[in-house]
Amino acid sequence: MDDIVDDPILPELDDLLERMHVVAIPLNTRFRGQTVRELALFEGPRGWTEFSPFPEYGDAEAGTWLRAAVDFGWNEVPAGVAGRTSIRVNATLPAVAAEQVEGVLARYDGCRTVKVKVAERGQTLDDDVARVRRAREIVGAEGRVRIDANGGWNVDEAEHAIRSLAEFDLEYVEQPCASVEELVEIRERVGESLGIAIAADESVRKAEDPIAVARAGAADLIVIKAQPLGGVARALRIVAEAGLPAVVSSALESSVGIAMGAHLAAALPELDYDCGLATVDLFTGDVVPPGESLVPRGGTIPVERPRVDPALLVEHRATDARRQWWADRVTRTHAHLAR
């Protein structure tokens, strides 16, 4: 992806480390196997920005996230579409039991769309069906339900699951299989016969060539995330080159990271889908004051840079050992970008 757009100017390492704050915020529900989310924040010349690649990511992949953080904190953000000052967002439903669905969705004020996690390791298709059924009952016939398998099925499993879930009027199926080749096949098997769109996420943000999925005809739309794609400008360029509709999603971020995603959504030429930017509700706290947190109100979030509260940085401050771990990580990823 290095040839997609010019890289932002990289600040000196000492400058980054001096500006860095590391926080650890518990989650309301286990998500991606995590119960606590750690992230690093920097107060850049343009405002607060976030660096929060997941712990298991290597330095090369994490470097793309650092590039995004620098871009948002040190450079001017591409202008949004005139009049687009708020973004409609979807609720995100983790792989909880059906009886827990109502409680989780109650946290999302006014959201008409729910993305349901499926294909969770250790669960069955019956669990998925029960969860999706309950979500559909709650949002009603006018609501929108999409599912996300995070590449957890092979093609045969995906076809069986999608046909089992089709009765719930799915808006689209996100990353049912892991590879581009599998996405092509599952799209051929169910796309035309069931009229269900296939969306690509990991096949875009974790790919050496993020346009390959569009070139192969493997998806009807793409899911884009600002940090994993290297920033707002780079993500916009990917959408333009792919030529497919896009939905902006988060990477389980604080309100600072969500603001980056909101600015990306605001700058898309077309925005036909509710965006997955309501994930602050998955946290038990935030780094901005409660009344200013980028949680959905009336189903939308504003396009703005939130104000970080110094007291909350202290309240959620990570341990010294974890702060050193993140300082070491920034040092390594900075060196990777500086090559």
Binding residues for Mg(2+): 148, 174, 201
Q: Could you tell me the sign of the dihedral formed by the alpha carbons of 175, 176, 178, 184, in that order?
A: negative
Identify the helix (H) or strand (E) that includes residue 157.
Answer: helix 155-165
As annotated, the active-site residues are 117, 225
The b/e string for 284-306 (b: 16+ C-beta within 10 A; e otherwise) is eebbbeeeebbbbeebbbebbbb
For residue 316, count other CB atoms closer than 10 A to its CB: 23
For residue 6, count other CB atoms closer than 10 A to its CB: 8
Q: Find, among 214, 280, 207, 230, the residue nearest to 250 by Cα.
A: 280
Tokens of 305: 């840079």
Q: How far apart are CA 156 and CA 178, in angstroms?
A: 13
Tokens of 293: 């947190």
Is residue 88 within 8 Å of 262, Cβ to Cβ?
Answer: no
Is residue 265 within 8 Å of 88, Cβ to Cβ?
Answer: no
Measuring CA to CA, how many Å separate 106 from each of 50, 100, 293, 312?
Answer: 27, 10, 17, 25
Q: Could you tell me the sign of the dihedral formed by the alpha carbons of 162, 168, 274, 54, in that order?
A: negative
